[in-house]
Structure 1
C-alpha cells in the first residue's frame, strides 16, 4: 500500500528548457541525488502574481515525487512523496 507524505522542502534540480518547456532531469534531496526516470504528468497553478509548475515524477524506483518550480523566486521544492510498499 502506498503512503503519501507532504514535504515542502527546498531542493536543487538539474533541468533543461526546450521549446519553452521545462524538463527536470535530476534532483537533490537530503544529500541524495535522484535521477528522474519518468515524468508522469505536469500542470501549472497561478499563485498570486506567480505561476507554479508541478511535476509528478518517478526517480530510481517506484516511488513518486511531486516537484514544484515557482516563477516568482525561481526556486524548486519537493512538495509530496508517494512511497510504494
Structure 2
C-alpha cells in the first residue's frame, strides 16, 4: 500500500491534499481520482452549468503520477418545432 495525494484546482485556486489516501497501487489511485472528479462534478458543476476540474495525483515521494481533468459545459438550445421559424 502506498499513500496518494489528490490536489484540487477548480478555478477558485488550488487546494492541496495534505492527508492523502492509502491505496494498493497506481491503478487504484487513478480509479480514486475518477471517483473524486465525478463526485465534484455532480456536487459543484451542475449548479453553475459549466466549469473545469483538475485533480493532480501525487505519490508519497512527491512525484506527480497523473492529472485527471473534467470539462463540463451546458448550452441551452431554444426548441422550435419542425417547420416553424
Shared fold per TM-score greater than 0.5:
no
Specify which structure has the higher proportion of strand: 1
- TM-score norm. by structure 2 comes to 0.31
- TM-score norm. by structure 1 comes to 0.31
* Rg larger for: 2
Specify which structure has the higher proportion of helix: 2
